[in-house]
Chain A
């Protein structure tokens, strides 16, 4: 735990990298590297600030800069099921397993990604939902499929409905030509674990700088205690819950005793 926390902190403090060919440097900072889910948690908006530095930046490029922030949550396998009518009732008849896909994915930019760079560049850099790798089990193989595959579309659409996959072409705002902020929405049903934050800077349709950071979403306090107990000490947890039920029942019978 402490080593993981340390690595998050290290990533945070060294949250800038320089792509050698570019003259620009991208410096980013997150408002919070640790999202704590407590009993009063109902979702939170993180704020990411970024600044473009370097010789070129002094005389900002003529076309201006574009920014795409991609936040990916902890990866897991997820199944998408499809219902079909069997003997007049609706039953899950088919399912696909998506392998090692992010439980949370946010693609935030200052304008729609199609307007930032051409399709080839976006595909190469995996920018946007359509270009993000979402591999699924196809027979014995694991591969991503075409973007209009019905299961892939349903998966992205459902994740979007659950506010776990977010694509916003207006979530990044430039405060000055070289300073920007992005709002990263964390939904109420946020998955727990380490999140990677990747920021790409574009100018004139090409990527000129990149930087990354990380954050952690953790259950803390009582929620953490209950969740850990239920998973790691299942028998004890079950017995405790049953005891709690008996006590509540007994207590009620004492309080409301009428004879």
Chain B
């Protein structure tokens, strides 16, 4: 069944988009991530312009993280003060990202910027995740006990001022690294059309020592708010949000996520992380390939704004 997307100005098959939503939703539910880093490239691949893809996926991630955030909230697995503090940086980062997005679009370099950020971020994060999980699997095989973080180990920025105590997460840290992390996630999310959950969760664990009990729920609240505001900002500045496309993705994504979550519970953590790492790496390499190989066509077209 074909449907005409009003902003992407493109007829697409509803079931194809719905299927993509289901598949990506399944993966996102399985790993507890938003899945934007898969969805945005997929949309670009079927012919949606990168601008529309990034802007529309933002609202799709807002939807899937909303249902996640609600269920974590019910289980008291969200640290509201920490989420609020991350949000301060997050909103600012999102605004900066949307601004850069607009500038690069005007300079004809938006596709390049999206491609390069995907390439660097995904290949680095993917290889880190994959190697870490392989080490964990080998350790488990050899039977040595897993060494968890040493109590009291501190990184340099734990000494920074403006300290806050977060009761639910049982941590006492400076607000500065929290703002910085929030800013980075918001910024990356706005320019790449990803929620950033797969970055935020490790950052919160390794840098802020947030316990596993609250880390995913808090990350989902942050993703929810940054992506909802990214939707509004992209709509206002670039007029690139396709609500029809977003709605189809949302429906597929939220349903797929439920089944993915069930599948995820059946797998061991290390294997799950290895799979996710490899997946992330693969998408990164796909972008590298696209940037390095000789393009089929050196020329491309774009509507220039404004009549003379």
Contact = CB atoms under 8 A, between A and B. Distances in A.
Nearest to A37: B4
A119 B70 CA distance: 71
A42 B308 contact: no
A226 B7 contact: yes
Contact of A162 (B3, B239, B301): B301
B298 A82 contact: yes
Given A38-B4, A79-B302, A241 B10 contact: no
Interface residues on B, range: 35 or more
Nearest to A243: B228
Interface in B216-251: 224, 227-229, 231-236, 239, 241, 243-244, 246-247, 250-251
B252 to A, nearest CB: 11
B63 A246 contact: yes
B247 A248 contact: yes
Contact of B59 (A188, A234, A245): A245
B174 interface: no
A39 B4 contact: yes
Interface string A92-122: 1001010110000000000000000000000
A227 B7 contact: yes
B94 interface: no
A202 B75 CA distance: 80
Interface in A216-259: 219, 222-224, 226-227, 230-231, 234-235, 237-242, 244-246, 248-253, 256-257, 259
B231 A242 contact: yes
Contacts of A39: 3-4
Contact of B301 (A78, A84, A88, A259): A78
Given A92-B109, A230-B239, A242-B228, A248 B234 contact: no
B303 to A, nearest CB: 6
Contact of B232 (A155, A162, A226, A238): A238
A156 to B, nearest CB: 11
Nearest to A219: B6
B133 interface: no
A75 B66 CA distance: 43
Nearest to A238: B235
A242 B234 CA distance: 11
B108 interface: yes
A61 B303 CA distance: 45
B55 to A, nearest CB: 9
Contacts of A222: 6
A189 B307 contact: no
B36 to A, nearest CB: 13
A76 B307 contact: yes
B212 interface: no
Nearest to A98: B304
A216 to B, nearest CB: 17
B243 A78 contact: no
Top 10 A-B residue pairs of the complex, sorted by shortest distance between their CB atoms: A249-B66, A238-B235, A154-B299, A252-B254, A238-B232, A245-B62, A245-B63, A253-B67, A77-B304, A226-B6
15 contacts: A40-B4, A75-B307, A81-B299, A81-B302, A91-B109, A92-B112, A92-B300, A188-B11, A238-B232, A241-B243, A245-B227, A246-B62, A246-B224, A249-B64, A250-B67
Interface of B: 2-4, 6-7, 9-11, 59-60, 62-71, 74-75, 108-109, 111-112, 116, 224, 227-229, 231-236, 239, 241, 243-244, 246-247, 250-251, 254-255, 257-258, 291-292, 294-295, 297-308
